[in-house]
Every structure is written in C-alpha cells, then in structure tokens.
A and B are shown apart, each in its own frame.
Chain A
Amino acid sequence: MTPVSDIAALAERYDLVVVGAGPAGLSAAARAADLGLSVLLADENPAPGGQIYRAVTTTPVTERAVLGDDYWRGADIVARFERAAATYAPRCTVWSLTDDPAAPGTFEIGLSLDGKARIIGAAQVILATGAQERPFPVPGWTLPGVMTAGAAQIALKSAGIVPSGRTVIAGCGPLLYLLASQLAAAGTEIVAVLDTTPRANWLKAAAALPDFLRSPYLAKGMKLMVATRAKLRFVSGVTGLAAAGKDRLTEVEVARGGRTETIACDTLLLHQGVIPSVNLSNAAGCAHDFDEAQHCFVPRVDSWFASSVEGIAIAGDGAGIGGAESAALRGEIAAFDAARRLGRLTPEERDRQAAPISAELERCLRGRRFLDLLYRPAPQFLSPPRDDTIICRCEEVTAGQVRDAAKRLGVVGPNQMKAFLRCGMGPCQGRLCGPTVVELIAETRGTTPAEVGYYRLRPPVKPVTLAELAALPATEGAVKAVVR
C-alpha cells in the first residue's frame, strides 16, 4: 500500500477507484490489487477502518476488553490492505462521480484533499461508502448534549474519550447493546438504557427465528444482551421520547405504558439502526429500491454487487445492511467482478475463485432478517407525531410543516417538498432528513415510502469550495460551455 497525502501525486487514471476504507473498501482494494489492477482507495477519514473498525490502527484505547474482540479483528483487514499494491488517499473526499464524456463507459471522479481538488479517471468504481445511523427525530434532538450512539462510539475508539456526567442511551437495534457495554466498560455513568423496540415486533420476527437460531449472531448477541442487561438499568417498551433543556440538554422525557417519567441527564445517545449511505450512488444515477424488511432505500445490485450503472459496483453496508463481516466479503466479490469486466479474469475463473467467498457470505447473512424485523423502529420514531419536532436539522423544518405541505398544498414527493420548504437543501444534503420527509409524506398521503421515492441528489455530494473548483484545469467541454 502506498499512502498519498498530496493530491498532485495521484495518477491520471486507475483501473479501479474504491471509495471508503471500511471493511468492504479495504477488502475490495486489496483483492483487486492482488488481481493485478491499478487501484486507488480514497477515504475521507484520517485512518483506515471505516466506522466499525474506526481508528483500529491508531486508537489510544489500550485495554482491549473495552472495545471487544470483534473490533480488533479489523486490524487483520487493514494489515492485509497494507500488504497489497494499492494507492491509499486518506482525508480525501470524493464529491462527484460522473461518466467521462471523453471515454464513454469510464468515469470521472472529483476528489478533494487538503483544500485542493482534482478530477481523475477510473475504468471501474466500487462504492464502499457504508452506512449512517437512521435519523431519530424526537423533540429536542438538536440540543447540544444529544448525539448518536455511533458518535459516542467514534469518540471512544478514535480519541479514547467518553461522555462525562449522567448518560442515557435510547433506541433499538443490536448496536445499542454493544455501545452500552463498551461505554460501561470505559467507565461512563449510564443512568438508563431506554429500549424503544415495539413489543409487536417479536411476533413479526418470530417467523424468521429458525434461520436466526443457526446464525453466527445468536451466541454473540445473547451473551452481550444478558451481560449488559444485568449490569445496567434497562427500561423496555418505551413509546415516546423527548429531549429537553435550554441551549443544552438537561433531561429526557420518557413515555411508557401511558405514563411519563423525566430523567435528568447530561448526554442522550440515540440509535435506531443503520441505513445505507446513498448520497454518492444516488447522485451517480444508480437505481434504488425501498427495502421493506430493512425499511430504507437500498441501491439495486446483482449478485456481484454491480449497480444499475455499468461499471459501478456497491459493496458493504452501502448495498443493504449486512454487518462488518459480510461487508468484507462483499468487497472481495465486487473486486472479482471488476477484474472480470476489465478482462483480467475470465467469467469461469471469477466464478471459481469467488465461490467460497459467496458461500461464506450466505452463512454470514443468515439470521439478518430476524434482526431487521425485530428492530424495525416504531412508526412514531420514523414520522414524529408532534408537529413542532424539527426533522431537517440544517434548515430547521418541522414535521408539522412537512405534513401541512403534503396535505394542504398537495406536495407529492421529497423533491417538490425541497422546493417548498428547503428541507434537504442544507449542508448535510438530506442525509439527516430524507428518510423522515419520505415517511411523513407517505403517512399524510396514505401511500408508501416506495411510492413516494427519495431525493434526487446531485454532485457535489460533499461541500467543495469555489476556489477549489475554479482551480481545476478547464476541459475543452467546459470552455465551450461558457465561451461564445
């Protein structure tokens, strides 16, 4: 692996550009390099690992037990990538991915590193941009002191810091237990874990139970659940949440069984599962479908993780949530197919080499459906019932405004909603409001999220300064577009 810290040191073109240095991206880049492709792995973080293996090579946390064995396994994935003949650009943001007009069938990728932008070429692209936490819009979630559970985990892994003072963790999903146990082991004062899993989900998930019983998640999950529940105050059946305080969080209101309780706290960590990060794949024109079980938009991919755009594959949790182990395997499979598309492997050779990995992937994903159904968020945490709840954090648009526009003005989709209310037009580009806007429109108009659709996103998918864009070399096409 050759690290690059100056954007000028990158080549003009690569056989394959991989975006994202989590387990999927690292494995894809390592495999593709081993197959003889010229590979660039671009990642916006300072160190490899993505979110799950965040800072695995640089973490200041020395007590291995705090983060658990699963975390340290990431070091092997990073080590393998380090041995591969690939180029690695950390702190490098990918802000656009478009067809190359000069070489149809290949791509132009807009990158930015240290305040300098560049466009490079790629014959094949693997997006391994992973997942983000599903928005958790409750009243007061914009107050300082309220964060995602993932944020607390990142602070712990990368900086060795934990919330000080009284901490409440709220939501649902397997990661909630992991986070609670990690933070408790690191010495955080956790005053309550509020479980919002709807009780009715247990019935719905029961049908998928047989598969789950044979899944690798079971033993791990049960052990964690039992150990964490024994140590901490667990409150299940929570049906309503609100963060309160003036200019910063001071308490959380908890509704449960028709009663409301107030818990004084300094930090509230929210989590209700993760969803694919779709901004780059959406802006690149890849088709997405609404996945009912995971209840989110997921890029349409085939069994090699090829998207609907020829030449762009999507590996890892960005192609639907499967977890860290499956992400690494998906990355490998996508890399085999990239080599086949470039003529470096025959289809037969690709099939033969990928077969054991595909079999392993199937084993890995067994039981996933049970988790998806069990931890599907309650409707009131997807479309907030209180009209004054902010749903677009950037533009401070409320649930009431979106409902009103959908009802009285007959706004049918999120793109129209954007034009009316500016939701999704702030710096986060809809990452934190998109799913909620879709949900609110569907609920108000009596239709489904699949019918409503999602924002049409466009590059740049991450902010890039005008100075950076202006400094790019002008192409013939760009000059023709403005010169008369």
Chain B
Amino acid sequence: MFRPMHNDPVREGATSATLNFTFDGRPMTGRAGDTVAASLLANGVVACRETPVSDTPRAPYCLMGVCFDCLVVIDGVGNRQGCLVPLAEGMAIETQHGRRHFAEARA
C-alpha cells in the first residue's frame, strides 16, 4: 500500500483536480494525472487481479508496462494495463478475475 509523501501540498490537492472513480463498486478518489494503477495503490487496494492459472491475487509489480500484473477491467473492457491508463472522472474499475470457470460459463 502507498500513501502521499510527507508535506507535499500538491498531493494534498492544492493544485491538482480530484477525480471520482469506483473500484469493484466502492467509491474512491484519485489525483488527476495519476495512472489507474497508482490511484489503486494510493487508495490502499491490495490486489487488482487474480491469475488465470491458480486464481491467486496479484498487485502491480513493475508500474512500467512490462509485467502485466496490474491488469484490470476498466469500464467493462478487460486486460487493460492499469499502469499505462490515466485515471479519468467516473471510471468504473474492477478486479480482473482469472479465467472463466465452467460453472460461470453455464450460468
């Protein structure tokens, strides 16, 4: 988990706009200019996806577009690299669950 660095007036929202978004339906706020992955980290989100192989939780690992561990669903589109997408007002971000299972497919 991450937090704003100490004594940083800009981070406290003095000059940068605050954006509203949701993560799995929970309302959160972020700083305009931050990426989706950074916003999730700053909001204390521990994991943003589950792996397709073993359904284990993962979180952003490299933040530079290399590892693909920050994959999330953004506004209904899956497999988005959270570290490369700038946060936008009203975004609906969701955990990317692993592969679909048989039961889900039949439901």
- Report which A residues bind B (CB closer than 8 A): 44-46, 51, 58, 60-63, 66, 91, 93, 132-133, 142, 144-148, 150-151, 154-156, 158-165, 186-187, 247-248, 266-267, 277, 393-396, 426-428, 431-432, 462-463
* Interchain CA distance A266-B3 in the complex, whole Å: 13
- 12 A-B contacts (beta carbon < 8 Å): A46-B86, A61-B5, A133-B62, A144-B57, A161-B41, A162-B2, A164-B2, A186-B6, A248-B47, A426-B68, A427-B79, A428-B66
Contact: B11 with A146, CB < 8 Å?
no
8 A Cβ contacts from B33-86 to A:
33-35, 38-39, 41-42, 46-47, 51, 53-54, 56-69, 71, 79, 83-84, 86
* Interchain CA distance A61-B8 in the complex, whole Å: 7
Contact residues in A for B59 (Cβ distance below 8 Å): 144-145, 147, 248
* Interchain CA distance A255-B62 in the complex, whole Å: 25
Known contacts A45-B84, A393-B61, A428-B66, then 7 further A-B pairs from the complex at CB < 8 Å, ordered by chain A residue:
A144-B58, A148-B61, A148-B62, A154-B64, A160-B8, A163-B3, A277-B66
The residue that B62 contacts in the complex, of A66, A147, A156, A463, with Cβ under 8 A, is: A147
Contact: B1 with A163, CB < 8 Å?
yes
- Report which B residues bind A (CB closer than 8 A): 1-11, 16, 31, 33-35, 38-39, 41-42, 46-47, 51, 53-54, 56-69, 71, 79, 83-84, 86
Contact residues in A for B62 (Cβ distance below 8 Å): 132-133, 147-148, 150-151
Contact residues in A for B64 (Cβ distance below 8 Å): 51, 132, 150-151, 154
* Interchain CA distance A155-B11 in the complex, whole Å: 12
Contact: B47 with A144, CB < 8 Å?
yes
Contact: A159 with B35, CB < 8 Å?
yes
* Interchain CA distance A164-B84 in the complex, whole Å: 23
* Interchain CA distance A380-B79 in the complex, whole Å: 33
The residue that A144 contacts in the complex, of B8, B42, B46, with Cβ under 8 A, is: B46
* Interchain CA distance A241-B2 in the complex, whole Å: 23
Contact: A428 with B63, CB < 8 Å?
no
Contact residues in A for B86 (Cβ distance below 8 Å): 46, 91
| Most-contacted residue by chain A among B38, B63, B64, B86 (CB, 10 A) | B64
**Distance (Å) between the CB of A152 and the closest chain B CB?**
8
Q: How many A-B residue pairs have CB under 8 A?
A: 140
Contact: A147 with B31, CB < 8 Å?
no
**Distance (Å) between the CB of A190 and the closest chain B CB?**
13
Residue on B with the closest CB to A93?
Answer: B84
Residue on B with the closest CB to A156?
Answer: B5
Contact residues in A for B84 (Cβ distance below 8 Å): 44-45, 91, 93
Contact A160/B10 with A165-B1, A187-B5, A428-B66 known, Cβ cut-off 8 Å? yes
**Distance (Å) between the CB of B80 and the closest chain A CB?**
9
Contact: A247 with B47, CB < 8 Å?
yes
Contact: B8 with A62, CB < 8 Å?
yes
Residue on B with the closest CB to A392?
Answer: B53
Contact: A60 with B79, CB < 8 Å?
no
Contact: A146 with B61, CB < 8 Å?
yes
* Interchain CA distance A463-B63 in the complex, whole Å: 16
**Distance (Å) between the CB of B86 and the closest chain A CB?**
5
Contact: B35 with A158, CB < 8 Å?
yes
Contact: B5 with A161, CB < 8 Å?
yes
Residue on B with the closest CB to A154?
Answer: B63
Contact: B57 with A60, CB < 8 Å?
no
The residue that B2 contacts in the complex, of A45, A91, A155, A396, with Cβ under 8 A, is: A155
* Interchain CA distance A113-B44 in the complex, whole Å: 29
Contact residues in A for B63 (Cβ distance below 8 Å): 147-148, 150-151, 154-155
* Interchain CA distance A45-B2 in the complex, whole Å: 21
Contact: B8 with A60, CB < 8 Å?
yes
**Distance (Å) between the CB of B96 and the closest chain A CB?**
11
Contact A396/B60 with A60-B10, A144-B47, A248-B46 known, Cβ cut-off 8 Å? no
Q: Which 4 A-B pairs have the closest CB atoms?
A: A144-B59, A187-B6, A151-B63, A164-B3
Contact residues in A for B5 (Cβ distance below 8 Å): 61, 66, 156, 160-162, 186-187
Contact: A396 with B41, CB < 8 Å?
no
Residue on B with the closest CB to A248?
Answer: B46
Contact: A161 with B58, CB < 8 Å?
no
Contact residues in A for B11 (Cβ distance below 8 Å): 60, 160-161
**Distance (Å) between the CB of A101 and the closest chain B CB?**
30
Residue on A with the closest CB to B49?
Answer: A144
Contact: B51 with A60, CB < 8 Å?
no
| Most-contacted residue by chain A among B16, B42, B67 (CB, 10 A) | B67
Residue on B with the closest CB to A187?
Answer: B6
Residue on A with the closest CB to B54?
Answer: A396
Contact residues in B for A58 (Cβ distance below 8 Å): 33
Contact A164/B51 with A147-B62, A431-B66 known, Cβ cut-off 8 Å? no
The residue that A60 contacts in the complex, of B6, B33, B56, B58, with Cβ under 8 A, is: B33
